Structure 1
């Protein structure tokens, strides 16, 4: 045998080593791709993004952004109330038309 060709034992060992690394990689990918882990990562990213948006680098609240968020929530609540009232009144008008 020449020095350029690897022995069969070395080739078999390389195959076993490569197979083990591939199995570890597949296991790691299946853990990363598990739905609960993906959701957990997304939740952490959203929390970090939200925290970064409402806090300064020193950790203090950005009152201007907090006020804007509160105003947006208030606007949504008001719109839901108004929309509900309009739907209720429309339903009552239709019911009055149908009553004999």
Structure 2
């Protein structure tokens, strides 16, 4: 069974079941077209960092009393890890 870990706490620890994860294939890179007088074609400069993107995670809260626990768990910024790729994390 797949799960997520946010700031060291898994969704099962807070009474939430993972329903679905939607991750875009790949974030776009920022680039710039540079026109140089006398040059036939412009230059394309591609920056190494990627644009920010959204990951949608759908959770099912198992018990109503866990709602505030889930809200507190997901508030603020932190590190998100998916159980199927534990060597990779997302800063959120």
Which of the five TM-score ranges fits, normalised by the shorter chain?
Answer: under 0.3
Please tell me whether Structure 1 or Structure 2 has the larger radius of gyration of its CA atoms: 1
Looking at secondary structure, tell me which structure has more strand per residue: 2
TM-score by length of 2: 0.19
Q: TM-score, normalised by structure 1?
A: 0.18
RCO higher in structure (CA 8 A, sep ≥6): 2
